[in-house]
């Protein structure tokens, strides 16, 4: 039997846990002697709207909003806890369950979205310098200092290339980005990119500090999932589709 449980970290942050049988007590004090322990954690924040930046979510000194007034739930971490189940996707089933549970407890919630990394972007970008302008290709893009002095036109170019990467770069027929594949396969829509969303050293090394928001609209999840499963269609916002089209590929 699988059970669900919501656990409050703070007034605006929640952990949703799917537990194995006889493991309901594991969330309180570690793995249970009699059960298998938590199978998967999904952590979310309750906010007035879609968030684009990681730091306020993880900073314990951040201002705490009243969760009862939140309009948006932001999923920012999904962790498979059992080694033997690594690579097994619980995402679609779990996210639907989280939406139902949160909607039942917080009746003002209207949007459900992620704050996601783009782990393959910088590596892809550095291996496709022929798609960059000469000015951009000359930059290292490897530190907060290097990103802080980028002029607006080059920042816009990076954002266009990031949209292109998520919508058009492929591994086989599927999107090249691992996180994109997960959320798109589960019926989400790629909605927004955020410059400087993760300014940590890891965020810069993996995604030039950019984060992505995927939106789960329950009325569209099944249709989006089917479109991806059959044709690997990337459902995205008009803005990101336009940015991807603006990238000029080498002849």
- The torsion defined by the Cα of 62, 65, 71 and 73, in degrees rounded to 10, comes to 50
Q: Annotated catalytic residue: which of 26, 183, 206, 207?
A: 183
The residue ranges of DSSP E strands in 60-124, in sequence order, are 72-80, 111-114
- Distance between CA atoms of residues 131 and 35, nearest Å: 52
Tokens of residue 232, six digits: 């690997």
Domain 121-245 listed as CATH 3.40.630.150: yes
What is the pTM (predicted TM-score) of this model? 0.84
pLDDT of residue 159: 98
Cβ(55)–Cβ(73) below 8 Å:
no
- For the cut 60, the answer to whether the pLDDT of residue 114 exceeds it is yes
Q: Annotated catalytic residue: which of 32, 116, 207, 236?
A: 116
Parallel/antiparallel/unpaired status of strands 211-215 and 3-10 = unpaired
- Distance between CA atoms of residues 53 and 58, nearest Å: 10
pLDDT in tens, 20-66: 433 333 333 444 444 555 566 778 888 888 989 988 887 777 766 67
Is residue 183 annotated as a catalytic residue, yes or no? yes
- β-bridge mates for residue 77, sequence order: 43
Mean of pLDDT values over 147-162:
96
Q: Where are the domains positioned within the chain? A: 3-45+72-113, 121-245
**Considering Cα of 179, then 181, then 185, then 188, what sign does the dihedral take?**
positive
Is residue 206 annotated as a catalytic residue, yes or no? no
């Amino acid at each position: 039997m699988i059970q669900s449980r919501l656990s409050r970290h703070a007034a605006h942050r929640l952990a949703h846990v799917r537990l194995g049988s006889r493991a309901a007590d594991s969330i309180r004090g570690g793995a249970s002697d009699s059960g298998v322990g938590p199978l998967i954690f999904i952590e979310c924040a309750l906010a007035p709207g879609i968030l684009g930046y990681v730091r306020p979510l993880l900073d314990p000194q951040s201002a705490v909003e009243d969760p009862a007034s939140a309009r948006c739930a932001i999923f920012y971490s999904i962790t498979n806890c059992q080694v033997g189940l690594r690579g097994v996707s619980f995402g679609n089933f779990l996210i639907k369950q989280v939406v139902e549970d949160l909607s039942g407890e917080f009746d003002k919630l209207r949007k459900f979205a992620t704050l996601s990394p783009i782990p393959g972007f910088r590596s892809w970008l550095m291996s496709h310098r022929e798609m960059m302008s000469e000015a951009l290709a000359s930059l290292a893009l490897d530190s907060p200092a290097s990103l802080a002095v980028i002029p607006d036109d080059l920042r816009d170019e990076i954002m266009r290339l990031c949209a292109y990467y998520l919508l058009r770069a492929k591994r086989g027929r599927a999107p090249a980005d691992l996180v994109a594949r997960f959320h798109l396969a589960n019926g989400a829509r790629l909605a927004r990119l955020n410059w400087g969303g993760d300014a940590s050293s890891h965020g810069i090394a993996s995604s030039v500090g950019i984060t992505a928001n995927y939106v789960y609209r329950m009325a569209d999840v099944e249709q989006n999932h089917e479109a991806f499963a059959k044709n690997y269609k990337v459902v995205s916002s008009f803005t990101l589709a336009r940015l991807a089209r603006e990238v000029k590929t080498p002849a």
